[in-house]
Structure 1
């Protein structure tokens, strides 16, 4: 449906090339949605990360020794941070879309004068905000509990934002594809969780057999985990700049897929 701008000519946006008011409204809604239940979306990830570290320390920490020249807990801590970030960014965008589809109010998001690009950016804003806040919360916990302070803070933030953007975009794709909560749970359990756990979070990929190591290098989540590990403690299994390139390309590809699905109304418009 065409809009009339301030000049009265059809096709012109009242807000210029970008509907800043609509974009801000959607982004604010997505941020407020997770902030309203902060004990579930912000506090729970911190507790989960702490439990992971405690359990691994009790189970194998004392016997494991150093990994790549750093203590075992210090080695896995950045991976746990990034794993928590990507899980929360994915959950934020995917749950927002699936809940709207199941409740039948997705039309409230699709009907306003928002382009596909603005819808993608609005949803991503919520996922990135949630992922970044979770990262900062866990980062403070690591600094206080283990004395881990990022060696390269800006690079750490860059990987966190890119990781949240990648999984936020994947959450949009999954949310559009899934028709009900069961399908969303299947995507989470059989795609997102294995990608996160089998990405070098708890181990160095150098210890894997050659075939499995090559498969791991095809997983973009591996480069997120490895990049954050380098930025935080200065060790990595692959060149950080290679990982940054792979992650940027992955973000672009998945974001474009999400844009196409919203542009065409795939599984959204009958």
Structure 2
């Protein structure tokens, strides 16, 4: 007969295996992030006639209407033919509207249809949700900018003066408006509320920020107020990147827009982490 004089240690508790396919490096769920990003991209690519081709047609109609109505009898603006001046503004206006629509419609539709739980239940952090949603806005904005920019170059016969500046401001626009779309989607409880935000806030901001005119021609106090509008710097920065001419120094506009992007994304990250107005 044998006796145990020392208590044997309890068997180590078995740690459950990680679900197959889930990989985390540095606490990032790369599989979940990639899945959400892919879903956001495929969501608008499934209806590319509405999300890519329709903006091209709208931009073309703007150019035709303004060129025929004003272009023939109007002189140069900032030393540029009116059609050349108009193109970058329409490009950025379209980018702004599409980047905002991508995130806002995705979240609002999920809340209205009741399947937002499919996004909240997987092991995704607030930062991963933010990055996944923003990836759709960035890809959509990039595709729209590429299509319209190509058409603009073909119509005007001019190349891009500063490609890196143009690319930088398009990226800032996608991040800023994608972040605002997340905030709007979280706040809105139905499509009517989202339509009100789009019609009364986003569309006026994109139209009244130097898209069709130079803000230097505005009387006071509208000229000063325009320089407090970050959307103005997005449009003016894109115009500088395409034509080499702008109302404001591009570096100043880039820094202002970058600061606003950080603030908007910080608020969006906080709301996604806490589940504000989403975990109902």
TM band (smaller chain): over 0.9
The 1-side partners of 2:28 and 2:218 are apart by: 48
TM-score by length of 2: 0.91
Deviations 1:132-173 (A, max 9, x none): 000000011011122132111121111111101100010000
1:7 positional shift: 6.0
Moved over 6 A (4+): none
Matched, 1:15 2:24: yes
1:264 positional shift: 1.2
The 2-side partners of 1:258 and 1:9 are apart by: 33
Q: 2:251 aligns with which of 241, 250, 255?
A: 241
Q: Which residue of 1 aligns with 2:9?
A: none
Count of residue correspondences: 263
Matched, 1:63 2:69: no
1:62 positional shift: 1.1
Q: Which residue of 1 aligns with 2:175?
A: 165
Ranges in structure 1 where 5+ consecutive residues have no aligned partner: 1-5
1:9 positional shift: 10
Deviations 1:25-79 (A, max 9, x none): 0000000001110110000111111100100011111111100100011011101
Q: Which residue of 2 aligns with 1:3?
A: none
1:8 positional shift: 5.3
Q: Which residue of 2 aligns with 1:107?
A: 117
- RMSD value, Cα: 1.5
The 2-side partners of 1:229 and 1:148 are apart by: 13
Query: 2:161 is paired with a residue of what secondary structure?
Result: coil
8 Å Cα contact 2:29/2:123 also seen in 1: yes
Ranges in structure 2 where 5+ consecutive residues have no aligned partner: 1-13
The 1-side partners of 2:129 and 2:61 are apart by: 36
Q: Which has the larger radius of gyration?
A: 2
